[in-house]
Structure 1
Amino acid sequence: MQRTSTRIILSCAAIGVAGGLVEAGSGYLALVMAAVVPWLYGVTIGLHFLPSVVALALLRRPWVAIITGVVAGLIASAFAPMWIGRFVGTGLLIGALVELPFLLTRYRNWKPWLFYASAAVAGLILAIAVFIGLGAEHYPPAVWAIALPLYIASPVFFTWIGLLVANALRRAGVARGA
Structure 2
Amino acid sequence: MSRITTAYLLTCAAIGVAGGVLLAVANWVSTALFAAVPFFSVATAGLWLLPAVIALRLLQRPFAGLLVGLISGLVIVPFSGYGFASVATNLWWAFFAELPFLIVLYRYWRTWQHYAGAIVVSIVYPLLAAASFGLETMPLGVQVGFFAIMVASTLGATALGILIADRLRAAGVARLARRRRPKVVAARD
Q: Taking structure 1 as the reference length, what is the TM-score of the superposition?
A: 0.93
Give the percent of matched residue pairs that are identical in Structure 1 and Structure 2: 38
Number of the residue aligned with 2:30: 30
Asked whether the 8 Å contact 1:43–1:151 carries over to 2, the reply is: yes
Number of the residue aligned with 1:16: 16
Number of the residue aligned with 2:112: 113
Amino acid at match of 1:53: V
Unaligned runs of 5+ in 1: none
Q: Deviations over 1:40-76 (max 9, x none)?
A: 2222211011100000100110111000011111112
What is the Cα deviation at residue 2 of structure 1? 3.6
Number of the residue aligned with 1:3: 3
Amino acid at match of 1:26: A
Q: Larger deviation: 157-166 or 95-104?
A: 95-104
CA distance in structure 1 between the aligned counterparts of 2:126 and 2:43, rounded to whole angstroms: 9
Number of the residue aligned with 1:68: 68
Amino acid at match of 1:10: L
Larger radius of gyration: 2
Amino acid at match of 1:89: A
Q: Does 1:101 align with 2:100?
A: yes
Select the structure that is richer in helix.
1
CA distance in structure 1 between the aligned counterparts of 2:174 and 2:164, rounded to whole angstroms: 12
Q: Does 1:50 align with 2:50?
A: yes
Q: Larger deviation: 71-80 or 45-54?
A: 71-80
How many residues align? The count is 177
Amino acid at match of 2:57: A
CA distance in structure 1 between the aligned counterparts of 2:112 and 2:175, rounded to whole angstroms: 24
Q: Deviations over 1:79-117 (max 9, x none)?
A: 22x312342112111222111111122212111101001
1:153-168 matches, cutoff 5 A:
153-168=152-167
Secondary structure of 1:153 counterpart? helix
Q: Taking structure 2 as the reference length, what is the TM-score of the superposition?
A: 0.88
Q: Which runs of 4+ in 1 moved over 6 A?
A: none
CA distance in structure 1 between the aligned counterparts of 2:110 and 2:136, rounded to whole angstroms: 39
Superposed CA RMSD in Å reads 1.4
Secondary structure of 2:108 counterpart? coil
